[in-house]
A and B are shown apart, each in its own frame.
Chain A
Amino acid sequence: MKLVTAIVQPHKLADVQLALALHGVSGMTVSESSGYARQHGHSEIYRGEEFTIDFVLKVKVEILVTDAGADEVVTVIADSARTGEVGDGKIWVTTVEEVVRIRTGEKGDVAV
């Protein structure tokens, strides 16, 4: 099993969710996150004081998939989250040792 983690622009979340749903992905975990990479923060003046804002607000999407499904899910997310501008985000895939569905105790691919 794989864990697909994607950092995307907040305003692209709805597009990503729709594309994944159409692709047949039945669940995801979403959280707010902040960070910077090539898209650095920016500065602004507020009440006469200059602020630099290092961290940019992003959304983190996490999806558990079977080994076979990972590549397609990554493509679906990348296509739906892309604007072409700096700051579109990143996607990475990690191997997951075990998945357990708490309600039933099922393990492995059936629990994904």
Chain B
Amino acid sequence: MTLLEISSGDTAWVLASAALVLLMTPGLAMFYGGMVRANSTLNMIMMSFVTMGTVGVMWALYGYGMSFGDSVGGAGIIGNPIPLLGLQGAMGDATAGTLPAMAFVAFQAGFAIIAVALVSGAVADRMTFPAWILFTILWGTLVYFPAAHWVFAFDGFAAAKGGWIANKIGVIDFAGGTAIHINAGIAALMMAIVLKPRIGFGSKPMRPHNMTLVMLGAGILWFGWFGFNAGSALGANGLASHAWVTTLVATSAAMLAWLGTERIRDGHFTSLGAASGVVAGLVAITPACSSVTPVGAIIVGVVAGVLCALAVGLKFKFGYDDSLDVVGVHMVGGLTGTLLIGFLASGDAPGTHFTAADGTVTIVKGLFYGGDASQLGKQAIGAFSVLVYSAIVTLLIGFFLKAVMKIRVAPQAELDGIDLEEHAEVAYDLSSVRYTAYRVNQRLVIPASKPEEVNA
């Protein structure tokens, strides 16, 4: 595609955003790593890191093609990866909008990685590492790449024909409320069901072992999310600036809303509540950051903060061990943001103006901003299509893995901590006794019988 001239400003911003988005996955690793018990920390961090490995390689080999290649038959179901195998067709003069195609490849790579890594929060402390690696490959290929095509591939941007949710339905999902958060959230629920709860779930305390790590992770996520949302403008312009501001204020409001909910219900303002509120706000504003006003963004944040704070308690009622609240935060937050667009989309926000090929401009308005319910209907179709597709395929992947390999560590290893079992390491080597117990290249031989003189 060589329709528009490459803009150096747009390219610079998108490349910087790409790095910000990639940083979110290590941020997520810290966020999740602090939230588990001390002897599962490294496994939690490694699940995110290895996803940067698997999905990073897959993205270059065929993932970008499946997501952003020309839609097969124009149906909007899946991109054709053949011309883009190994990114062959994205090199040289290839463009995406006003960007070199490679800048768009780089930017979207981080999205694919974090979408997959998000699911790991539901399988904490118990999934074998080989099963997780295989899961990232299968889920990325069968669930994320198609969903990304549906939602992110616009006609005529990176390829002539894009996905059905973006182009045929006309859902507003600016940076991935559906393809990323609803998708990963429901997948997390399915994997929690397939894996069954951790030993002691609901009776033993499984509180976060390192809240400072959680807060650091939440901070890195918030920082990186400016690339995620404002970068999704795919240009250095007013749209990006608008998304930046809504991403700030929705998150601020969501943190306060979560803290308030918690204070009223439980009596304390917890730091875990603040960190979770930040993420809930970021998730909810992700689809809506271009299409609501700053005040609308605050409303999105408050609603998401309250709803997600209430939703995370449901796992104890229903007995699914969504260990780190991926369902309660990402699925509920993603649905909240995606559906609220139907109410709060404003003609004043730049992301509601759509220019058709013949130059006519349509402005989408939500129910509260002078519009009718049509956009809400579209949002619901988009959200539930991704939800149902992800639920079914994730469940199939889960049962497939369970059938062909050991998907859960042995009970003793789970009780002792998965870090030592799967990675031969511990996160905090603070005991001098344990350190002394290791010997290099020698074995302590204990005689079979006591020496004579002791018995004498």
Chain A residues within CB distance 8 Å of chain B = 44-49, 51
Contacts and interface: CB of A to CB of B under 8 A. Distances in A.
Contacts of B312: 47-48
A46 B207 CA distance: 9
A3 to B, nearest CB: 23
Interface of B: 205, 207, 262, 265-268, 270, 272-273, 312-313, 316
B270 A47 contact: yes
| Interface secondary structure of A, over-half rule | strand
A47 B266 contact: yes
B312 to A, nearest CB: 6
A48 B205 contact: no
A54 to B, nearest CB: 11
Contacts of A46: 207, 266, 268, 270
A45 B267 contact: yes
A47 B273 contact: yes
A48 B207 contact: no
Contacts of B267: 44-45
Given A45-B267, A49-B313, 11 more contacts: A44-B267, A45-B266, A46-B266, A47-B262, A47-B266, A47-B270, A48-B265, A48-B266, A48-B312, A48-B313, A51-B207
A26 B266 CA distance: 47
24 contacts: A44-B267, A45-B265, A45-B266, A45-B267, A46-B207, A46-B266, A46-B268, A46-B270, A47-B262, A47-B266, A47-B270, A47-B272, A47-B273, A47-B312, A47-B313, A48-B265, A48-B266, A48-B312, A48-B313, A48-B316, A49-B313, A49-B316, A51-B205, A51-B207
Nearest to A49: B316
A47 B274 CA distance: 11
A85 to B, nearest CB: 22
A84 B265 CA distance: 34
